[in-house]
Structure formats: structure tokens, C-alpha cells
Structure 1
Amino acid sequence: MLKSVYLKNWKSHKETRVDLSKGANVIVGTIGAGKTSIVEGIAFSLFGTTQSVTSKGISLKDLIMQKPNKEDDAEVILEIELENNLYKIERQIFETKSSQARIYCNGLLIAGPKPQDVNKKIEELFFVNFDLFMRANYSEQNQLDFFVKLQPRERKTIFDSILGIDIFDSIERNSKQVLNRLKDKLDLEQSNYEQNNKTLESFNYSVLQNTKKELEKLISETEINLKTLLTDSEKMKVDLFELKKNQDKYDSITEKLSILDGQILNLSSFIKDKNYFSESSLAELEESFIIAKKQYQELSKAYHEKQNLLAEVSLLKKQESELSVKLKNYDLKDLEEIKKQYELISEEKLREEKNQNKFKSEIELKKQKLFFGQEEYNKAKPILEKLSNLENIEKKYSDLAQTIEKNQNIETALSEKISSIEKELSLLEKGEKDCPLCGSELDETHLKKVQVTKKQLKAKLESELKKITENQTHNKKDFIEIEKKYKYFLENKSYLSKDYSSLETQKKELDDLFAMLSKQDEKYLDLCAKYEKTKKEYESSSNYHFISEQLKSIIRKRELNEKLLGSFNVDDDLIKQKEETVKLLEKQIDYKKHLQELESLQAQKTILQKEKESIKFT
């Protein structure tokens, strides 16, 4: 059964390992993903070639990865399990030297590095060559229906070759040829017999009778020989099949014996060293090993605990020395003076903190007032800036009012002119005989000319009136907006101007408060710095008592550890001796196991040799 295949720099596979051990396997993927390359890798690992190499004329070096980077070598490893033995087949292709191949059985090399030797061993182990594998076990792309498309005779020929029974067809053909030759000989004898019958009259009857009997005897013997030959042919088929079966069994046993010999040789080389031989049984050795190993672990643990205690005692002595030096540097009189100063400064700091908190509360209220005042100031500032443009608004307001009044006058005048023209046109249409322009009597031509002139003038005046009316509409709309702004600014001008000066005064007061707050903060920071300095001096004086207690604790701990060190009865020599005992027992156990395994392998070898000797080839 196939276990796994490993591909390195093989066609499109940089490094791929496929597990094939779990039942039936299906490889899926897009076109060009490398599915066929995996199957070709399996075929190559078995026989050192592929269908593309044999049929398409490419070389083995073309199977080495070319893209994205050209590689110098490729490797394929196939693992197969057969009859409880694990076989590993390795094949390598090189760009600059010959290919190599190796086959291992249960970790032992049984053929290689020549590819031809591995190919021969593959055929011996699996009873299949490349041609048979490609026909019976492998199907190229789009060739799954290969056998279906064959003619019955061709299909039978291929299956006979796959099953190894084509030799019987050869025997049958040879037997038929012998039978045909015997029939030809019989026909010849029969012809001679008939020819002789025709010439009986010319011979002595008794002589002819004897000749006839001899011929009949010859025919009978020939028929018997023919039947014997056919019987022998059938028997030969059976014997040949049995012979092939025995040969396969013989080769299989020979292979197993070869593997056993390799394993026995490896074990024998180990067992040659008699230094690890022991009369004790394996169970006794294992029990002694467990006890010795436990003792060794306990000694090792005790040894490490002892080393840790020694290191800790050394560290404690160092700390003890350092603390003693520190205590010598302290003056008890100075320590008392520092303590008094610290207490006075602490009281002063407490008072200052209370004053500082009170001052901060007042500042916070003023900050809020400043915030709201600033907010009102910021709101009023844009309005005040707009008030500065009030004169422009007044001028624009006045100009726009004059423009509206002027346009209104023009609009009235144009309306009156248009109305007058309409009256004149109405009179002309009613048959007025005198010209409204010159007062002369109107004829038909003059009448039409006057009507056209009046209508053109009316259209022109109406167009001007329309433009004036549209401009007047926009001007009135702008006038209403400007009038609203103008009235709003007039209403708020006095109020905003009054509050603006108040806001400026308030802002100045707030700026003064910020300056005062900054000075107060500086004073408080100076006080805090003085306090921290005094605090450090006080803490330094307090360290004297802390160091004294710490030194006493270290001395007690050091003395206790020194007592514990006296209770440890372990040294390097004892641990080394126990370690050597454990290693010796471990090697004696391995020796005993290998000896038992060797005896088991030798027993298997004896059984296989007897089975091999019992195979008959006669």
C-alpha cells in the first residue's frame, strides 16, 4: 500500500509531501496545479522514468523545476508498505551528473545507488515492470477508456500479458504446429497407403499384407504419440503454472532471508561487545535500572539544592557585608536633627497646601467667570465688526431707495406712453381720417405706415418697461433685506457699544488674575521642592533602622542555611558513580533486548530456510 510521496523541485512542485495512507485518495485541483505531476512522481520513483520521457522524447533533466527559478536537482521519495515491511524508494536527478536511486527496507539499504539495481529490485519485490505498470496500474490523461476502445483480440492479448499467461498461448500454438505436422505426415502416409493399394495386384499378396500391417501399426503408433503429446502439453501447462508459483514463493522467501540477514548482521555487531553481558534476566535488570535511576535523581536533586544553598549563603554574606558598611556611615546625632527638621517642614507644607487649595478654589470661580465673559465677548465681536460698516449700509440703503423711486417714475412714464399709443391705434382702427403725427388727411398707404410705426414704438416701450419692472422687483427685494439689517443694527448699536467696553474691562481683570495665579503656582512649586528635599533626608535617616532590621534578618537566614548545609551528605563523586551505574544498566538492558531480538530473528530465519528448502522445482 502506498504510504506517502515527497516531491522536491519536481516539475511545478517546489516541495510537496502527500499522505496516501488513509484508504482511497483523490487528488483535485485547477488545471496546471500539478495533479498529474504527483502521479508521474509515483511512477518515476518506482521505475526511474515516466510515460512522457518514453513516449514524448523529453529527457529526465527536463523534469527538474524550471520556473520561477531553474533548479539544479530534483528528488522524489516514495514510501510503500508490503507484507508488514516498510520500503522507502529515493530517486534523484542532477543537472550536471548521473541520476541516483536507493531503496530501503525497514531502514536498511537493499539496493543502490545505481538506478538499474533499484529497478531490478523493484521488479523482484512487486512482480511488475514499467510496461505492465503503465498498462495495468496507470492511466494517462484522457486515457481512462483505453481498454474499452481496444478490439476483443487486442484486449485479450494485453490482459494475458498483464496476468503472465501469454506463455500458455505460445505453448498452445507450438502444440498445434506439432499436431499439424503429424497430421501432414499422417496424410502423406495415407496417400502412400492408397497409392500402394492401387499397385497391390503387381505385388505378392502376403508381402502387401505385411506392408499393410506395418503401415496400420505406424498409424496407430502415430495417433498414440499424438495423444501423448497433447496430454503432455496440458500437463506442461499445469507444471509451468505451479513452477512459476513456487518460483515466486522462493524469491519472496529469499528476499525476506536477505532482510533478516541484514538485521541479524546489525544486531550481531552490537552483541559482539561482551562488556555489557549480564547473567541477570531482563526483568531484573529493568527493576535495578528503575531503582538506580530513582536514586540518581534524588542525589542530583539534593546536589542542586546544596549548590543553591551555597550560592544563597554566599549572597547573604555579601549583603551582610554591604549593610554593615552602610550602618557605619550613619551619625545618630545628625539623624535626630534631620527628623526634627522634617516634622517642621511637614507641618509648614500642610498649611501651605490648605492655603493653596483655598486660593485655587477662588481662582477656579474667577476662571469660570472669565470663561463666560470671554464667550460673550467672542459672540459680540463679529457684530461689533459689522457695526463698523454701518455707514456703508446706510449709503447703500439710501442709494437703493433713490434707484427704486427713479425706476418707479420711469415705469409710470413708460406706462403712460404705451397707453397713449394704444388710444391712437384704437382711433386709427375706428377710421380716424387725420394723421395723429402731422394732422394731414390719411390715405390707405399712409394709414398702414402710421400703424406699423406706432406698433413698433409700443413694442419697444413695452420691452423697456419689462426690463425696468424686473430690475425694480430685484431692487425692492434687496431693499427689504438691507432695511431689516439697517433697522437691526440701529436697534443694537447703542447696546453693543455699551457692553463692548464692559467686556474689555472684564477681560483685563481676568488677565490680571491669570498672572497672579502663575506667581502663586511658582511659589507653591518652590515649597514642594523644599519639602521633597527634606523628605529624602528624613527617609535616608529612617533607612538606618530599616537597614539594622534587615541586617539582623540576613544574619538569621545565613546561619539557618549553614546548618542545613551540614545535613547534606552528597558530593560529585557519589553522583558520578551513581550516574555510571545507571548508564551501565541501561546498556545491559539494551544488550539483553538485542540478544532476544537476535534469537527471534534467527528462529524466523530457520523457519524460512526450511520453507525455502521444501519448495520443489521438479
Structure 2
Amino acid sequence: MIKEIELINFKSHKKTELKFTNGNNIFVGISGAGKSTVLDAICFAFFGTMPKIQKKKVKLSDLIMDKPVKEDLAKITLRFEINNKNYEIKREIFSNKPSSAELREDGKLIAVNQSQVTEAVEKILKIDYDLFSKIIYAEQNQIDYFLTIPPGNRMSNIDELLKLSKFEIARTKTISISNRFKNLKNMKEEVIANLNEQEIRDKKSELEDYLNKAKDEEILLEEKIRRTKTTLNNKEELFNEFERNKTKLENKKAKLIEIKSAINLLQNEIREVKLEDIKKIEKELKDKKLKLENLEKEKLEREKEISSLNSKIEELEKNLKEKKEAEKFLLSFNKERYDSLKEEIEELKEELFNKKLRKQQYEDAILSLKESKEKCPTCDRELTEEKRKELIDRKEKESYFLSKEISELDKKLSNKKEEIELENKKIEKANFLKKRLEQLKNVESDLDNLKKELEKLKQKEIDLSGLKEEVQKLKTHYEKLKLIEIKKQKLEAYKQEQTKIETEIRTISFDESEFEKLKKEVEELKKNLLTFELNLKHIREIKNEKEKSLEQIEKELEFLERNKKEILFLDYANTTLTNFANTLIEVQEILRQEFVKTLNEVMNEIWSYIYPYEDYIGIRFKIENRDYLLQLCDLKNKWINVEGFSSGGERAIASLVMRIALSVVLAPNLRLLVLDEPTHNLDANTIRNLTEILRTKITDLLEQTFIVTHDERLIQAGTGCVYEFKREFGKKEPTKVIELNM
């Protein structure tokens, strides 16, 4: 049982909370007031979709309220009870992100996100969206939906609801697979028909014989190669020993020739040089070098002394120049100029003071004249205004001229101060120069004495060129004698090495004829080894090719055997699948017959209970020409098709009976029916009968019914909660719901 629903920003519902009970829950109100929206919300809460979305009449975002203010979120909360367990579904729709959902069982969260919640709800209700939307939920004016399906299509539509269509899908797929197996079997039979099995097996035997012989030949060649390699290794070791001795002998002989040549060259070089006492030459060279070093030291000291004298002379010449410049400055210096400037400054200061004093007196007088209006501040006589102004003007002019004179005197005083500052610096300079002249009074005589001393040193010049030449000649001659000594030592060493090499040559054992004979044997063995290896390689290549051919033949035989087994299997599978497809047809037909039988039993119980007249005594669902027919039985036991009726009353009651029966048979766990505008196209009498049936009979058959109507007469059918829906379109207001007390 659905217990309550809460809608927030869902289409026209700003915030609507509705509680429901067992029996008939009625929604009444004008068209567009938001009644059907509640049914859409119930469907959406259960399955995350609804017929208008499936038919693409609206988008998911259209479910969010956009009047009077566009919202970003719509929320549905549905609470229901099944098998003594309370469930709560919450689904939220967002304008800017994916929707969310959750499902709770007795307060415990059991599923999240849209698909998980929908899957869990289907398991709890034991129905899916298709069954709910086609059987439980009769959309506006669709109570007779099954009668409006064109003949010929009803069986496929109902089979789809009953999931019997899956049997047809399975049968079609089974036949398709069976045909594929049959085609595959035929293809495999064609393939093996083109293969000569005996020929392939004979070829296999031939290849196996050849490979056995090739293996024996391969072993024989491998043994020959092994023996040849052993002999070759021994001969090569002996040959290498001969070759090393030959190389060693040739190297020794070449070295001996080189040494003899060096000995002859050294002997010739020694003979060309006149031999002298090298120690005597060495002593003479040492004495000459010592003398040269002493003279060079003496010359260096003299040069340092000359350099020192030149520096002193240069310093005295600078002092002499300074002395002359000082004497010249002192001749031009006049001390009286400083005294004169000092007197002028004192006079200017006195004059400036007097003028500033007079100016202050004028300013005081002007201030007094401005403050005194009637009497002269100086003589205390009566003053007219004209006379007062005249006095002020005259004194201001005199004050102005005094200001200019004071400014000129300030400039003159400043200039004189600068002049006396310069003269003061000249006096300081003159005093310094007088002291400096006293220090430099003997500079001329000192300079003259130093120049004379320098001249004497320059006259004592020391010439070392002759001695240097003698030292160089002695050094060259000494080095030649020393080199001869070294060559004599080398000559002796070469003679000793010559004797040593000649002895070594005599000890080396080497026979040229034996060497050549051994060389030919090694070459012959290498040639034989190469021949054996090439033959072995050739045999192995052919063997490899034959092995590949044998492998290919074995694969062909394996392919042949595998295809034989697969043909047997495909034949068995094809027979099994054909039998399975026939069984599916039989099962589908049995289930369809069982469904019709059960539905008819329930419909007749309901018909006899709710049909208010005695014109028709039975109702049935009949399979005819691969389609379903809804028929009524009259008093003559004649069955009449309901869709041919002109009476809206019988048609409406038959459609309602069928809806109730389908709900009871296909959704026994829910025992719910949803009717949207069920009175459409019905006359007043039929509406009155339908209202009575809904009020007195339906509640005994179903646990809960939801009825949406704009016809206020159906309010009388309410046995549960009755709600009136109102909405003013002109003002774009949200839906308002009022519960009516019945």
C-alpha cells in the first residue's frame, strides 16, 4: 500500500504532501490543476521514468518547476508498505547535474543511484515499468487500452508484458544458431571431401623413412667432424709452436742487424772526435764561470747604485722646481690687501646696521600712524586723515628705498667676505712656503754633487762580452766530450747485447721444410672439415624442410580428425536445437493457455460480482488466429466481441474487469489500480453505475485504487482520501491541494 507522497518543485507542485489509505483515493479538480502529475510522480518514484518521458512528450528537465520562478531541483519522496515492511524512495532531479536516488527499508539504506533503486523496487513489487504502465496505470482516457490495440497486435503486446515474447526471441535465436550449425557442418563436410586421407598418410610414412635415414647420416657426419676437429687442433698447436719459433728467430735476426748497424755508427762518430782530458776542460770551465758570475754581481751592484742616484737626482730636481715656484708666489703676495679688505668689511657692517635701524624706525612709525587716527604719534599734534595718509605714504616709500639699499649692502658684504677668505688662504700658503723654502735652501748644491757622483760611476763601465764568449766555447767543447763518453758506454752495451742475441739464435730450434709440410697438413684438414660441415648443414636444411612438411601433414591429419568429430557434434547439436525450438513453442503455448485460463477464472469471478445487470453472464479472453479477443457471453450463451459494442457501459465495465483481473493475476504483490479520467466518453448512467461499482465492489477486489477525475460525481466513489486540486493559471501560481472530508 502506498502510504504518502511528498512533491517539492515537481512540475506545478511547489510543496505538496499527500497521505493515502486503503480503498479509493480520489483526486478531483479542473484540467491542468496538477492531479495527473501526482500519478506521474508515483510512477517516476517507483521506476525513475513515466509514460510521458518514454513517449518523449517531456524531458527530464521539464519535471522541474519553472513558474512562477525557475527552480534548480525537483524532489519526490514516496513511502509504501509491502509484506509488513515500510519502504521510502527519494528521487532528486537537478538542472545542472545528474539525478540522484535512494531506497530505504525500515529506515535502512538498501540502494542508491537511479538504476540500483529501480532494480530494487522491481524485486520488491515483483513487476517492472512496462507491466506497471500498461496494467496498473491506466493513463488519461486509456481504461480500455487493450481494446484500442489493433487486431493482430494484441498477442504480441500482451506476450511482451507476460515476457512470453522472450520465448519467441529464444526460439528465433535457437533456429538461427541451428541454421548456422547446419551450414558449418556442410562446409566442414565439403572441406574433408577435398582431402585424400590415404595419400596424406602415405606421404607421412615416406617423410618419416627419409628423416630416419637423414638422422643416421647426420650422426655419421657429426662423428667425422669431431675426429677431424681433434686432429686439426693437435696439428694447429704444433704449427703454432713452429710459427712462434720462426717469428722469434726472424725478430732476433732483425734485432741483430739493427744492433750491428748501431755499433758501426757509434764507432765512426767516436773516431771523428779528438780525445782530450775531460776533467781538465771541466775545471777550466768551472773557473771561467765563477769569474763571470763575480763580474756580473759587481756589474749588477753598480747598476743598482746608478739607479739609486738617478732616483735621488729626480727627487732633488722636483724640489728645485717647487722652490722656484714658491719664491715666485712670495714675490707676488701683498699682505696689505688683506688689511684693506678687513677695514672695508667693518665699514659695510656699520653702514648696514644703521640703515636697518632706520628702516625699523620707519616701520614702527607707519604702524603707529595706522593705529592713531587723530593725533601724530611723534609730536602729539592734531592729524587730519589726508595728512595721516600722506605721512604713511612718504614713510613707506622711504622704507622701500632703504630695503633696496640694505639688499645691495648685503651683496657687497657677502662679496667682500669671499674676497677676504681667499686672501686668508693666500696668507696661510705664504706662511707654509716660507717654511718650505727654509727646508730647500741647499737643494742646488745637493743636486750638483749627486750629478758629479753619477758621472764618475758611468765612467767605470765593465765589459763581459769576451769572457762570456770564452765560457760558451768551453761549455760546447765539454758537452761534446761528455757525449762521446755516453756513446762509448752505449757502444759497450750494444756489443754485450749482440753477444747475447747471437747466443739466443743458436738455441732456437726451427726447420723450414718441417714447417711447410705441417702447414699443408693443417690446410688439408681445414678443407676436409669445411666439406663435412657443409654436408651436415645441407642434410640439416633438407631435414628441417622435411620436418616442416611432416608437421604440416600431421596438422592436416589432425584437422581431418577434428572436423570429423565436429561434424558429429554439429549434427547432434542441430538435432538438439531443433527439438529445443519446438519445445519453446510448446511451452510458450502452454503458458499462454494457462494465462488465459487463470485470467478468465478471475475475470468471471469479478464480472459476476460487479456487473450490475443480467444481460451478460460471463466474460472471457480468447485466443483466435494468433490474437486475443475480449468477449462477453449473453443469456443465449453466445460470445460477442467487446470491441464491437455500441454500449459504452458494458465496454467500460468489461475494460475495468479486465484491468482488475490483470492486476490481480500479474501483480498480486501490489494489488493496486491507477485510473486517470476513467469516465471519459461515458454517459451519465454509465458514470453513475461505474461510481457505484468503484465505491462498493472494487475495495473488496483490490487493496488500493487511485482515481483522477474532473467529474465531481466520482467523489462519491471515494472510500479512502479525497483531495481537491486548485490552480489559478493567470497568476502562474503553484498547485494547491485541499483534503475533502467525506
TM-score bucket (shorter structure):
0.3 to 0.5
TM-score by length of 2: 0.38
* Higher strand proportion: 2
Higher helix share: 1
Q: Max radius of gyration: which structure?
A: 2
Q: Which has the higher contact order (CA 8 A, sep 6+)?
A: 2
